[in-house]
Amino acid sequence: MAYLFTSESVSEGHPDKIADQISDALIDNFLAFDPNSKVACETLVTTGQVFLAGEVNSDIYLDVQKIARDVINRIGYTKSEYMFEGNSCGVLSAIHEQSSEINQGVVRQNPEEQGAGDQGMMFGYATNETENYMPLALDLSHMILRELAELRRENKDITYIRPDSKAQVTIEYSDDNVPQRIEAIVVSTQHDDFDEEGKMLAKIKSDIVSILIPRVVAKLKPEIQKLFTSEIKYHINPTGKFVIGGPHGDTGLTGRKIIVDTYGGKGAHGGGAFSGKDPSKVDRSAAYATRHIAKNMVAAGLADEVLVQVSYAIGVAKPMGIYINTYGTAKVDMHDGAIAQKIEELFDMRPYAIEQRLKLRNPIYEETAAYGHMGRTNEVVTKTFYSPYRPEVTLEVELFTWEKLDYVDRIKSAFNI
């Protein structure tokens, strides 16, 4: 029987995502000047205020106020009428030194025996329903908001958009899990005030349906384009007026959009957030590593859909175990438990090995903090970092290394595909 599945995304200007981006900008700056930094940094944003708190073990001192303000301005909170503006908001820091008891459980004389930064379980997921091996509903939700942000920055076709927005896509699937059509699209975008509320709502809906959605569709493959029919139910700013938004409308906190960050409700989630954590925290590094495994398994043709779980004890290098679920889509005559054993032989899942394999001790994290950590484009970029206490640092870094398909041949060989 056909069924409906929904995923949502939030924009870079959403309060929780502002917090994520500030936390990850701090991570990048610490790692740029001291790659061995151990950092856990949380951010809270509200009307006119930014609060930073967390634990750090590093040999660099940063101008955290400037870093936070630069992020806020880049996102687009540059006007006083937003009640949250990068150059004028207060930035308060309560960052202090990391607990020596945690540090001694992680750091080892032999780096390869580095312990996990915490206990817990992490999940990675991949499906062949999209080119980037992501669930379609989430992928489309991210695309809608990225395109909306482009329209906002262009300030030409649509001139009244403010930074805070959300999108949601509902897709009908056949009983054999193939997308059939888009049932509904929800877009809520913050906007400038209009003189007449009725005209405002009509204008916003018209622009979203006739300008934004066609720009998104034009970037899609024909097989996805055909899902956009005239029967889609659009809910555009369904509550009506949305002038008060961003941190003035809702307080934002680091780590509150973990489903947006991962798979939109598909697969599973271990509960740990990513942003604000250096890669010794397996909440982050192991989630990236399991995505890398799942994506390479599906790309190798081992299965149409894969969920990978890994679990750790704090201070212990070797994982407690690896679990694989192919949802009955495996193309090899093996049980999922046997597949997991072979995968464990191919991928060293000790924290230090993950850091080295995926190059996670580089300043690559601010780019992850909006529009999803998974399904992104692997690329090399040059980034420059400034400190009032050290010479500036310019680095060439590789982003989204966990999205590389560099283990496909090894998996094919191991499973005789």
**Cα 246 from Cα 47, distance rounded (Å):** 9
**Cα 258 from Cα 238, distance rounded (Å):** 24
277 among annotated binding-site residues: yes
- HSE, side-chain direction, 13 A CA sphere, residue 393: 19
- Cβ(286)–Cβ(308) under 8 Å? no
42 among annotated binding-site residues: yes
Residue 209 neighbours by CB distance under 10 Å: 15
74 among annotated binding-site residues: no
Q: Which residues pair with residue 387 across a beta bridge?
A: 390
**Cα 48 from Cα 43, distance rounded (Å):** 14
37 among annotated binding-site residues: no
118 among annotated binding-site residues: no
304 among annotated binding-site residues: no
**Cα 151 from Cα 166, distance rounded (Å):** 15
250 among annotated binding-site residues: yes
55 among annotated binding-site residues: yes
Backbone angle region of 248, left / alpha / beta, with phi > 0 → left and psi within -120 to 50 → alpha: alpha
Q: Which residues pair with residue 274 across a beta bridge?
A: none
Q: Tell me, what amino acid is at 175?
A: D
286 among annotated binding-site residues: no
- Cβ(276)–Cβ(54) under 8 Å? yes
241 among annotated binding-site residues: yes
Binding-site residues for L-methionine: 55, 98, 250, 281
Binding-site residues for K(+): 42
Binding-site residues for Mg(2+): 16
Binding-site residues for ATP: 14, 164-166, 241-242, 250, 256-257, 273, 277
Binding-site residues: 14, 16, 42, 55, 98, 164-166, 241-242, 250, 256-257, 273, 277, 281
